[in-house]
């Protein structure tokens, strides 16, 4: 084997007492799900000493242009990458080798994501239109198309629970899809303040009009999702009743920056659902309390990539939810510890890489392995001799 296994929430101190009736029951369900997650051991036992020994174990030179996304399947055995050279590469994580190469020359490819089937991915087109394409890797045939976005898609997020997924676009919309259906049949317009939500009863699809390029994320339970708006606001929705509007809205502010936030590039929940990592195109990323909506930490010490449309591919979380890692414009790979009590959090580890900068990265959910990408894809493993 190549790799080693391994709103309504504000002001309440006891999370079990946060929500008891009506729409607030959802948050209680999230807390209960979090407790269930806490009862299970984390998939990986990571430490700073172990992460400090990580180094590239294998480098693949399969691309001619920068890699734009990395995704792992649920088993952690496969990794898929997409690139602006219009290629899709599938890697075997257990053997450390390239398994398949596919091309999307006609439509382009961005944000390739595994569904819950290791043989299928969904990705965004970059040419002709901005259609989402559901592809079988087994026979290189499209299963379904999801049309509707009018500008570049900046986020695709699969539900951890089922076949629902979210997409966000520079056309200032968030769309709610089901892999089993490609088009809306019935639309029910619901007005929430100045936003219009089109809900598809039959297909479980929806359209949320926003202001500015939105960001999206499912929480680990799959019961709720978050939408980031205008690089300053987070709205929390119940998956089952999102047409009724958000159950919580938080307006964030960073007193340390006179100009306000850098452009938000993604939202990422920690594995316990307690925090949201807000990634930006600038020199600061943020850790936000997922129940109260306040900023807990600021991650600094890197140079932002200034790419607001990259979907936050240059920033990630370790599977245990303790560490944040991100690429930097100067080629450094920075690591932060979420358990650091300081609000202004500096990197606890900075690793110089050979490539400037790292455009995307990801940590395998099941194996002690990290993947980084620029025009080359590097697989990182710990050096066991350094941990003895």
User: Are 379 and 57 in contact, with CB atoms under 8 Å apart?
Assistant: yes
CATH of the domain at 140: 2.130.10.10
User: Which residues share a beta bridge with 349?
Assistant: 335
Give the CA angle between residues 344, 349, 354 to the nearest 5°.
Answer: 125
Question: Which is more confident, 349 or 33?
Answer: 349
The whole-angstrom separation of Cα 55 and Cα 319 is 18
- Are 110 and 82 in contact by the 8 Å Cβ rule? The answer is yes
C-alpha 98/C-alpha 90 separation (Å) is 6
**Strand 141-146, strand 132-136: pairing:** antiparallel
Give the CA diameter of the chain: 62
Question: How are strands ordered across the β-sheet holding 215-218?
Answer: 215-218, 224-229, 233-238, 248-251
Domain range for residue 112?
15-386
User: What does R_g of the chain's alpha carbons equal in angstroms?
Assistant: 20
pLDDT on residue 309: 73
Establish if 4 belongs to a structural domain.
no
pLDDT at 317 over 70: yes
Phi/psi for 9 (5° steps) reads: -100, -5
Domain count, the chain: 1
- Exposed / middle / buried, residue 119 (Cβ in 10 Å: 0-12, 13-18, 19+): middle
**Predicted pLDDT of residue 344:** 86
Nearest residue to 155 (alpha-carbon basis) of 66, 254, 226: 226
In a domain, 356, yes or no: yes
DSSP β-ladder status, 195-200 and 215-218: unpaired
Contact 334, 353 (CB under 8 A): no
Report the distance separating Cα 136 and Cα 163, nearest Å.
15
Within-domain flag for 129: yes
Residue 35 lies in a domain: yes
Given phi > 0 = left and psi -120 to 50 = alpha, else beta, which region is 231? left
Nearest residue to 217 (alpha-carbon basis) of 148, 284, 159, 280? 159
**Percent of the chain scoring above 70 in pLDDT:** 80
Residue-by-residue DSSP string for 313-332:
TTEEE-TTS-EEEEE-TTSE
Alpha-carbon distance of 14 to 167, in angstroms, equals 34
In the structure, what pLDDT confidence band is assigned to residue 74 with cuts at 50, 70 and 90? very high
Sign, Cα dihedral of 12, 14, 17, 18: positive
Both tokens assigned to 381: 């493993």
Inside any domain, residue 1? no
| Lowest mean pLDDT, pick from 58-72, 166-180, 222-236, 284-298 | 166-180
**Cα angle value 312/313/315 (rounded, 5°):** 75
Q: Is the pLDDT of residue 310 over 90?
A: no
Residue 142: inside a domain, yes or no? Answer: yes
Rounded Cα distance between 245 and 226, Å, is 12
The rounded distance, in Å, linking the Cα atoms of 243 and 102 is 38
Going from the C-alpha of 202 to that of each of 199, 205, 241, the distances in angstroms are 9, 8, 14
Quick check: 360 pLDDT over 70? Answer: yes
Residue at 10 is within a domain: no
* pLDDT tens per residue across span 78-98: 999 999 999 999 999 999 999
> What's residue 303's pLDDT?
86
Residue 321 within any structural domain of the chain: yes
Q: What is the pTM of this model?
A: 0.84
| Lowest-confidence segment of 166-175, 186-195, 233-242, 328-337 by average pLDDT | 186-195
């Amino acid at each position: 084997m190549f790799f080693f296994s391994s709103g309504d929430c504000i002001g309440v101190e006891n999370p079990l007492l946060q929500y008891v009736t009506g729409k607030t029951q959802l948050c209680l369900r999230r807390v209960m799900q979090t407790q269930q997650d806490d009862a299970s051991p984390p998939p990986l036992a990571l430490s700073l000493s172990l992460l400090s020994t990580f180094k590239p174990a294998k480098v693949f030179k399969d691309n001619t242009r920068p890699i734009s996304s990395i995704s792992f399947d649920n088993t952690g055995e496969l990794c898929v990458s997409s690139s602006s050279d219009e290629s899709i590469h599938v890697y075997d994580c257990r053997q450390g080798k390239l398994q398949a190469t596919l091309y999307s020359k006609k439509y382009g490819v961005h944000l390739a994501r595994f569904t819950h089937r290791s043989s299928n991915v969904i990705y965004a087109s970059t040419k002709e239109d901005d259609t989402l394409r559901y592809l079988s890797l087994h026979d290189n045939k499209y299963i379904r198309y999801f049309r509707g976005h009018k500008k570049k898609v900046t986020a695709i997020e699969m539900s951890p629970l089922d076949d629902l997924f979210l997409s966000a676009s520079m056309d200032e919309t968030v769309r709610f899809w089901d892999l089993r259906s490609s088009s809306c049949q019935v639309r029910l317009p619901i007005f929430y303040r100045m936003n219009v939500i089109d809900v598809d009863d039959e297909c479980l699809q929806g359209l949320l009009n926003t202001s500015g390029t939105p960001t999206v994320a499912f929480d680990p339970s799959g019961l709720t999702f978050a939408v980031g708006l205008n690089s300053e606001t987070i709205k929390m929705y119940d998956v089952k009743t999102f047409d009724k509007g958000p159950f919580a809205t938080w307006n964030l502010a960073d007193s340390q920056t006179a100009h306000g936030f850098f452009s938000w590039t993604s939202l990422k929940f920690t594995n316990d659902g307690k925090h949201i990592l807000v990634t930006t195109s600038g020199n600061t990323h943020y850790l936000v309390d997922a129940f109260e909506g306040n900023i807990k930490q600021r991650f600094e010490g890197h140079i932002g990539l200034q790419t607001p449309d990259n979907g936050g591919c240059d920033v990630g979380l370790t599977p245990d939810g303790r560490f944040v890692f991100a690429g930097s414009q100067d080629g450094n790979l920075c690591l932060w510890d979420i358990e650091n009590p300081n609000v202004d959090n500096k990197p606890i580890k900075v690793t110089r890489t050979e490539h400037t900068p790292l455009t995307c990265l990801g940590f395998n959910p099941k194996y002690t392995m990290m993947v980084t990408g620029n025009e080359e894809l590097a697989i990182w493993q710990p050096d066991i001799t350094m941990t003895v």
